[in-house]
Structure 1
Amino acid sequence: MGLADQRFSVNLSILFTELPLLERPAAAAAAGFTAVELWWPWPDAPTPEASELDALRTAIETAGVRLTGLNFYAGQLPGPDRGALSLPGEESARFRANIDVTADFAASLGCTALNALYGNRVTGVDPDEQDALALENLVLAARAADRIGAVLLVETLNERESPDYPLVSTPAGVAVVDKVNAATGLGNARFLMDLYHLAMNGEDLPRVIADHADRTGHVQIADCPGRGAPGTGTLPLEELLDRLAAAGYAGWIGLEYKPGDGPSADAFGWLPATARAAR
């Protein structure tokens, strides 16, 4: 296996952000990519106007790229928030209001992976209460994903950058996946393996891949340290992607890294042009 045998998707919430949202799909296409993914693009609006959804859908379709992944509403991201589904009160209600909006938008573009960020711990709130609320909301999200033929992704972040986020190890993320699948009986909850976050946590990445590739619904990459493009840090990302493929993972590899000081179009030199268009 090599880079040309992988399927890459550009995350338009961290790359091409020097451009307005509606111009980013075309910019990714101009860089040679045929697939993109997104965090929830409206951090203040879990239920945006239909015109905003239509405009983004048109931009993606006109660019000729495929939407391969989409986050549910997660609060201010980038920013202080790390999800809403475990937060009692208004934020949890906003997450629930967003579930069908996200699922329906994803379905309209053939997107089959929906990521639900867990949310930070809240001072003064019992963690068990937050976990119970999270499971309720993840069950709702899993059922909405199942309705459109999608998987529900649960992501592990890293403790250094997200100290209040409770899922900061592979076992913690996989345990939530198991709880959701047990509660729904659908089997469509999957682990989002972000190699950057796991590296920041000091995990044994070859072991994580060997043990959990079969439970993984999506992979994201950035080099470590720095969260830059492959080759800017010390992670052997090409070797790790080969290990994933050998372990049976044939899904998308999301490019979720910072482009550096220059334009995003210059941040893909590590990936040959012939390997950018998904086959």
Structure 2
Amino acid sequence: MSAAYPLASCIEWQFSEAGELDARLRAAKATGFDLAEFHLWRDKPIAALAQALTETGMRLSSLCVDPRRSIVDPAQRDEMVTAVRETIAATACLGKPALIVASGFRVEGMGEDEHFANAVTALRAAADAAEQAGVMLLLEPLNTKLFATMYLVSTRLGLDLVEAVNSPNLRLLYDVWHSACMGEDITEVLAGRVHLVAHVQVADMADRNEPGTGSVDWSHVMQTLRDLGYAGAIGLEYFPTLPMDQSLALSRQTLAC
């Protein structure tokens, strides 16, 4: 069997009983994690997180560009690029984690080609900043069940954008739950293009809980990732239904990690 993938705890939703995010990092380490991730950073204790990372030896696999701004609306482009630059600067003390970018919502009256061109322009500018700083940007497709008018809800489209921008510092975040919500098949959407994927997140259908509690065929998902040659980490971005030591054990068993 291929080597197991490293797992990252989403401390935004996990270890909440520990309190602040830095305490959640320590709790995650005590449960067996070496990687963690969370969402927005401006309301988080950055200095305390940096200290906890140093003390535990843990690493952040990702967090989100904050504030979220549209990549398809030209009126928000400058704010989007500024948010990327400010996030890069503010999180350098956290070990330069990968930074997640969402697309924003469709612009009424705008055609598909214009949406795509605007996204490429914004992402190219953001990628320039990431290249200068030595930081990876992760473009994440979401789903229309949570966000009815979100622009980027297709893995194929996300990969098309990554290819069009053509930067070594822009890759795709493939979220199995969002993809499953959109009815995608992992083999079809990632075949021949997994080299453009730098991070994978997982949660089970339909309620976004730990792998092994829902209807996703995890054996198929994980074998596909291995067969295609995915070489990154797996982010456990789910709402736990069990105490985290048991939840991690179930996730490891289900994902064979």
TM-score scaled to structure 2, two decimals?
0.85
Residues 27 and 85 of structure 1: is their aligned pair in 2 closer, same or farther, counting only changes over 3 Å? farther
Q: CA deviation at 1:217?
A: 1.2
State how far apart, in whole Å, the 1-side matches of 2:224 and 2:117 are.
35
Is the 2:72–2:107 Cα contact (8 Å) retained in structure 1?
no
Counterpart code for 2:61: T
**Helix, strand or coil at the partner of 2:14:** coil
**What does residue range 1-279 of structure 1 map to in structure 2 within 5 Å?**
1=1, 5-18=4-17, 19-42=19-42, 52-75=45-68, 83-87=69-73, 89=75, 92-123=77-108, 131-181=116-166, 186-260=167-241, 262-272=242-252
Deviation at 1:157, TM superposition (A): 1.0
1:50-77 CA deviation, whole Å, 9 max, x = no partner? xx432322232223211121221144xx
> Structure 1 residues 248, 198: CA separation in 2 closer, same or farther (over 3 Å shift)?
same
User: CA, structure 1 residues 96+215, in 2 after alignment: closer, same or farther (shift >3 Å)?
Assistant: closer
SS of 2:200's equivalent?
strand
Identity in percent = 34
d(CA) in 2 for partners of 1:194 and 1:272?
A: 17
1:209-247 C-alpha deviation (Å, 9 max, x unpaired): 333312211111111111110111111224412321221
Cα RMSD for the two superposed structures: 2.9
CA–CA distance in structure 1, aligned partners of residues 190 and 156 of structure 2: 12
- In structure 1, runs of 5+ residues without a counterpart are 76-82
Instruction: State the alpha-carbon separation in 2 of the partners of residues 115 and 153 from structure 1.
Output: 5
Separation in structure 2 between the aligned mates of residue 113 and residue 204 of structure 1, nearest angstrom = 25
- CA–CA distance in structure 2, aligned partners of residues 29 and 223 of structure 1: 23
Q: Kindly tell me: are residues 122 and 60 of structure 1, through their superposed partners in 2, closer, same or farther at Cα, counting changes over 3 Å?
A: farther
Distance change >3 Å, CA 198–CA 31, structure 1 → 2: same
Higher RCO by CA contacts (8 Å cutoff, separation 6 or greater): 1
For normalisation by structure 1, the TM-score amounts to: 0.79
Q: Quote the Cα distance in structure 2 between the aligned partners of 1:268 and 1:17.
A: 15
Question: 1:126-181 deviations in whole A, cap 9, x for unaligned?
Answer: 77666555433322221222223332211111121211111111221112212222
1:93 Cα deviation (Å)? 4.7
Letter in 2 for 1:13: E
- 1:100 aligned partner, one-letter code: R
CA distance in 1 between partners of 2:227 and 2:53 (Å): 32
**C-alpha separation in 2, matches of 1:247 and 1:272:** 20
Query: Following TM superposition, by how much is the alpha carbon of 1:206 offset from its aligned partner in structure 2, in angstroms?
Result: 2.4
Equivalenced residue count is 255
| Greater shift in the superposed pair: 246-255 or 205-214 | 205-214
